[in-house]
Amino acid sequence: MAKRGKKYLESKKAYDSTKEYELEEALKIVEQSAKAKFDETVELHLKLGVDSRHADQQVRGTIILPHGTGKTQKILAFVKEDRIDEALEAGADYAGGAELAEKIQKENWLDFDVVIATPDMMATVGRVARILGPQGMMPNPKTGTVTMDVKQAIAEVKAGKVEYRTDKANLIHVPTGKVSFGNEKLAENIRALLTAVVKDKPAAAKGKYLRSVTVASTMGPGVKLSPQRAMDLVER
């Protein structure tokens, strides 16, 4: 088990880590626990009552958080040559085709956070799928990152769009903003995210859907929320 730092251990002593808190209370603890010298990200961790080994029980989607994530995302756009200027003007940090795929392949270049591609460029993107896939950056029509409307896709990322998806352990981990946002904005982002995930509940999922809900800052310990109370936060 990884050795924890002094600040982390002090933060963990300051509250009852076995207790399930209300969102407002949990965020106060997270704020007090965030002792790093940088503006820590506040993440939401959900364990869902699904079996993601089955395709019909995988949960995946995107949402534009009301207050964004507080992180500036670097965007790479795979487009045909005649659309490079359009993508760069829309806010992409890099735009191009085969030459960018080659750079990723040869140099293991990954100086970006999001990849957007037009459908006619997917054969090129496919050449670096083995590199982008494990990083969670492979463009996908389901998340709006494979599209002819590059301008719109870039605007959504800039506005604070996040992707959520279940991993092999049926967990979802999503950034919901920075500690500096304050609890009100963080709570609104978390409420919006919970609403989206609950609306995406697969029809094949049986029993209790939200099994555990935890909020934590980058360097701080996790604070549990009551799954039942978290369901009450969902906008109907």
Contacts of 106 (CB under 8 A, 6+ apart): none
Give residue 80's pLDDT.
97
Give residue 15's pLDDT.
80
Cα–Cα distance for residue pair 86/73, rounded to 1 Å: 18
Give residue 34's pLDDT.
85
Pairing mode, if any, of strands 114-117 and 75-78? parallel
DSSP string, 121-180: GHHHHHTTHHHHGGGT----GGGT-B-S-HHHHHHHHHTTEEEEE--TTSEEEEEEEEGG
Does residue 122 carry a pLDDT above 90? yes
Longest dimension (CA), the chain: 58
| Residue 1 pLDDT class (50, 70, 90 cuts) | very low
Domains and CATH numbers, the chain: 6-69+161-232 (3.30.190.20), 75-158 (3.40.50.790)
Query: pTM for this structure?
Result: 0.84
> Average pLDDT, whole number, for the chain?
92
